[in-house]
Amino acid sequence: MITQFQRIFVRPCLIIFTIALLSACGPAAPPVAPPSGTLRWSIEGVNDISRLDPARVADYQTILAVNLIFAGLVRLNPDLAVIGDGAESWRTNADGTIYTFTLRKNLAYGDGTPTTAQDFADSLRRTISPDTGSSFAFEFLKHIVGAENLHNKTATILSGVRAVDAQTLEITLDSPRGYFLSQLTYPLAFVVPPGKIEATGDAWAGKAFGSGPFRVKEYQVGTKLVLEGNPYYWAGLPGVANVEMTFFPDTAAAFTSYQAGNLDIMGNIQGGIPAERVADVRGLPDMRSANSPVLRYIGFNNRRPPFDNTYVRQAFAQAVDRESLATQVLSDQVQATGRILPLGFSGSSLPITILNFDPIGARSALGMAGYVSGASLPPMALTYSRDTDTEKAAQALQRNWQDTLGINVRLEGLPMAEFISRLDSMVTDPTNPTTSLQIYLSVWGADYPDPQNFLSLQLQSDSAYNNGHWSNSEFDRLTSEADQMSDPGRAKERLKLYNQAEQIAVREVGWLPIFNPEVNILIRPTVHGLNFTPQGIIAADWTQVRIENAQP
């Protein structure tokens, strides 16, 4: 199972491109004189990438490449609105359960083969099939009719998806879902060339292609992935001939390479410029900043005392000095927050009342829970995946709880794999004293820009990703109602429902929000046509991306 912590590494840096009108039928013909120039792009945090397969996305770094090579029915524009990609248009039925997509007539793969509606149907079936995709893939697309039967192997077809004809795809949901189109912008819903991935095996990474703007030109294991423009891309050949994606296990090494003139893009919404080097480049035209759609939060095990008591969770929440943590401990590289939806995220403009740092209120809440002092609480530990900034944050939280409540919380920093395993175990065995966690410092980042991805998916009582087992029937009712609102005319009403639900989760401390990372990256001023947004780097139109004085 993919946990909250893992999902931060599988968020897409959404690479997006706009609609253009090409030939009326068949794949586009390759241009006579393709553009020149190589866009040099660092991929930080890995020695290599995993297989290039949208149905098996396993880490954020690989998704950067997947989003350049493959594409889906729809995409996000720079304003994070859903617009057509492989689909030229779509319509829904009256109750919002049937989506009918009309594909572009010139939609084709990187080898020139036309992309059909049946290909999309087969790709969705392949993603949900337990023989291919992950449990998260099913959770992601489970409201497509027939998904559960396919996932449970009681059926071999995905009954809710059918190709009406070569250019028309119909998807039927079991109930209206206001976030469904946003979900389709994520790689799990991308189309893949029929049979190619399985037939090619391990060699696929060196020749991968889809219906996106680029295809693989060269793959040097452990070094780099080089992409070339897809000459059959529906919008036209990209404005740069190649994209060279070099692997850097260490972010500092990528920064040094950028300074040496070897990169055009450095940093991403997962990492960005090393905090200690931000001052070196602040004010330069290269530097771009954005609030990341990411939340660092504290989760509590609601199935084990004392955190099955709301007052105890509130006491811990009111004992946390977020502002000092953000400004003094983390050097203003994050934005303190007391709410679940990240700053700038859809729905975050609606106000809520948060649990501020309040030592007197914290001690009062602890008393209301029946504890004379923190010393009367059972021994407890804060568990997290060990890295420098997380360690600093954990130590600050430990001091807050000691100073305000007199509680000595033991710190338990673990290797990432062990932390993920322990967090996973809480889904099915939350009371196991050996493996389950009491308090955990974790992270969640947006897969798509809709409140459902933060609220319903994470905190509904029956969600497979509600690791802490927090439960509130009114929260469930509000989010379920909002989830099923698909009428664009009721968008404001839908956000108000999520707002009410978020208020409940904050008040009862379903999660204890701590901060949103502020991400800084570097893009050379000679690169034109790319935008840095809270969802990552967006090319509004890859045919218009240019590099001044580009070298071959």
Q: Buried b / exposed e across 103-113, counting CB within 10 Å, b at 16+?
A: bbbbbbbbeeb
Percent of the chain residues topping a pLDDT of 70: 93
> Which regions of the chain carry the CATH code 3.40.190.10?
4-22+34-247+524-547
- Residue 27, pLDDT > 70, answer no
pLDDT bin (cut points 50, 70, 90) of residue 14 is very low
Q: What is the mean pLDDT of residues 100-121?
A: 98
Q: Name the more confident of 455 and 390.
A: 455
Q: Name the more confident of 63 and 322.
A: 322
Return the CATH number of 294-518, one of 3.40.50.2300, 3.90.950.10, 3.40.710.10, 3.10.105.10: 3.10.105.10
- Residue 322, pLDDT > 60, answer yes
Q: What is the mean pLDDT of residues 539-544?
A: 93
In the chain, % helix, strand, coil (3-state, to 5) comes to 30, 20, 45
- Residue 244, pLDDT > 70, answer yes
pLDDT bin (cut points 50, 70, 90) of residue 4 is very low
For residue 411, the model assigns a pLDDT of 97
Domain spanning 4-22+34-247+524-547: CATH superfamily: Periplasmic binding protein-like II (3.40.190.10)
Residue with tokens 């993920």: 420
For residue 28, the model assigns a pLDDT of 45
> Which regions of the chain carry the CATH code 3.10.105.10?
294-518
For residue 447, the model assigns a pLDDT of 87
Task: For residues 97 and 175, give the distance between their C-alpha atoms in angstroms, rounded to a whole number.
Answer: 6
pLDDT bin (cut points 50, 70, 90) of residue 11 is very low
pLDDT bin (cut points 50, 70, 90) of residue 34 is low
- Residue 251, pLDDT > 90, answer no
Task: For residues 89 and 116, give the distance between their C-alpha atoms in angstroms, rounded to a whole number.
Answer: 15
Task: For residues 318 and 503, give the distance between their C-alpha atoms in angstroms, rounded to a whole number.
Answer: 16
Listed range (207-221, 295-309, 382-396, 398-412) with the worst mean pLDDT? 382-396
- Residue 273, pLDDT > 70, answer yes
pLDDT tens digits along 438-454: 999 999 988 888 999 99
Percent of the chain residues topping a pLDDT of 90: 72
Cα 249 to Cα 14, 222, 255, 437: the distances in Å are: 22, 10, 12, 30
Tokens of 52: 């290039």
Instruction: Give CA angle at 146 (143, 149), nearest 5°.
Output: 110
Tokens of 283: 């004010």
For residue 22, the model assigns a pLDDT of 33
pLDDT tens digits along 112-134: 999 999 999 999 999 999 988 67
Listed range (22-26, 180-184, 303-307) with the worst mean pLDDT? 22-26
**Mean pLDDT in the chain?**
90
For residue 550, the model assigns a pLDDT of 63
- Residue 532, pLDDT > 80, answer yes
pLDDT bin (cut points 50, 70, 90) of residue 552 is low
pLDDT tens digits along 347-381: 999 999 999 999 999 999 999 999 988 889 999 99
Cα 464 off chain centre by: 17
Q: What is the DSSP string of 216-250?
A: EEEEETTTEEEEEE-TT-TT-S-SSSEEEEEEESS
Tokens of 246: 């070099």
Q: Name the more confident of 518 and 505.
A: 505
Contact 160, 173 (CB under 8 A): yes
Q: What is the DSSP string of 404-455?
A: HH---PEEEEE-HHHHHHHHHHHHH-TT-TTT--SEEEEEEE-SSSSGGGTT
For residue 250, the model assigns a pLDDT of 84
Q: What is the mean pLDDT of residues 69-85?
A: 92
